Amino acid sequence: MSAAVTPLWQPASACGDRCRPGDARHAPAGTVGLRLAGLIVVLAIGLPLAVLLRGAAARTLARALLAVLGVRVAHRGPAPRAGSLLVANHVSWLDVLALLAISPVHLVAKHDVRAWPAVGAAARRSGTIFIDRGRPRTLPATVGEVAAALRAGRSVAVFPEGTTYCGAEHGAFRPALFQAAIDAGAPVAPVAIRYDTTQAAFIGDDTLAGSLVRVARTRRTTITVTTAPALRPMPGADRRALARAAQRSMAGHGYRLAA
């Protein structure tokens, strides 16, 4: 880590393989093969359409990818209004698909995603806002991009824990991107994401390919996405207080507050 990068800016999770007991029920080998083959087909057909059409096409693609992997999404709570900043805890790359499946959102993703095969190109063309945690000086520009999207009436989803956790453990919400909602006068919609298995957690030394296979091997995965009532920050609100309030509002939805 560069001396210019502080732990506050680039948080680290203590979650690792020990967080996955390995007792999940496995799908039959034939089902796993069909799921992975289906994933390739859906990506080949759906990614170009999602990039061209966006909106409903991206939502349909997300739902199709979850379906072929044997993942079910249950949504509880009010639907976020357009132009909201959705702030969610972060467990897995599947979180992105779950959010897209329930609401039309633009995403804030780590800079590394730009280099992911196929997914990176689609993310760039679909309006994803990238955040480079290795270059703290770029943060104000990223906040400005998010605020501009919110002012234009586009919802933006962020993961303010800054990294992934296993789901039983969580990190404190970093406040920086909450400033975008304050600047734009946009509502903040807290979102609690909960899995019924730890096999989906993208933690430790996971690779995307390894995680895909592990998800495909799990007999069934259910993601419960619970949206809490929106917070409406006043002009000049304190972003740190807003981040704490958003995280507190998620308690009781299968989400345990960080110590």
> CATH code at 178?
3.40.1130
**For residue 10, what pLDDT band results from cuts at 50, 70 and 90?**
low
By residue range, what is the domain housing residue 146? Answer: 25-248
pLDDT of residue 1: 31
Q: What is the average per-residue pLDDT within 139-150?
A: 94
Q: Percent helix, strand, coil in the chain (nearest 5)?
A: 40, 15, 45
User: Is residue 119 pLDDT above 90, yes or no?
Assistant: no
In a domain, 1, yes or no: no
Q: Choose among 141, 144, 55, 164: nearest CA to 100.
A: 55
Residue by residue, DSSP assigns 139-175 as HHHHHHHHHHHHHTT--EEE-TTSS---SSS--PPP-
Rounded to whole angstroms, the Cα distance separating 11 from 133 reads: 9
In a domain, 221, yes or no: yes
Q: Choose among 33, 57, 31: nearest CA to 45.
A: 57
- Local structure of residue 91 (DSSP, 8 states): -
Reported as a single tens digit per residue, the pLDDT across 45-63 is 887 776 665 667 788 888 9
Reported as a single tens digit per residue, the pLDDT across 54-102 is 667 788 888 999 999 999 999 999 999 999 999 999 999 999 999 989 9
Q: Is 254 exposed, middle or buried (0-12, 13-18, 19+ CB in 10 A)?
A: middle
- Local structure of residue 136 (DSSP, 8 states): G
Contact between 129 and 150 (Cβ < 8 Å)? no
User: Is residue 131 pLDDT above 90, yes or no?
Assistant: no
In a domain, 219, yes or no: yes
The rounded percent of the chain whose pLDDT value lies above 90 is 56
In a domain, 253, yes or no: no
Model's pTM, two decimal places?
0.87
Reported as a single tens digit per residue, the pLDDT across 165-206 is 887 788 889 999 999 999 999 999 999 999 999 899 998 888
In a domain, 34, yes or no: yes
Rounded to whole angstroms, the Cα distance separating 109 from 107 reads: 6
**For residue 116, what pLDDT band results from cuts at 50, 70 and 90?**
low
Triad 57, 69, 17: Cα angle to 5°:
125
- Domain count within the chain: 1
The strand pairing partners of 131, in sequence order, are 110
Taking the CB of residue 131, how many other CB atoms lie within 10 A of it? 23
Contact between 228 and 200 (Cβ < 8 Å)? no
Highest mean pLDDT among 60-64, 242-246, 248-252: 242-246
User: Is residue 151 pLDDT above 60, yes or no?
Assistant: yes
pLDDT of residue 147: 97
Reported as a single tens digit per residue, the pLDDT across 13-39 is 778 777 777 667 899 999 999 999 999
Q: Which residue has the tokens 């993601």?
A: 223
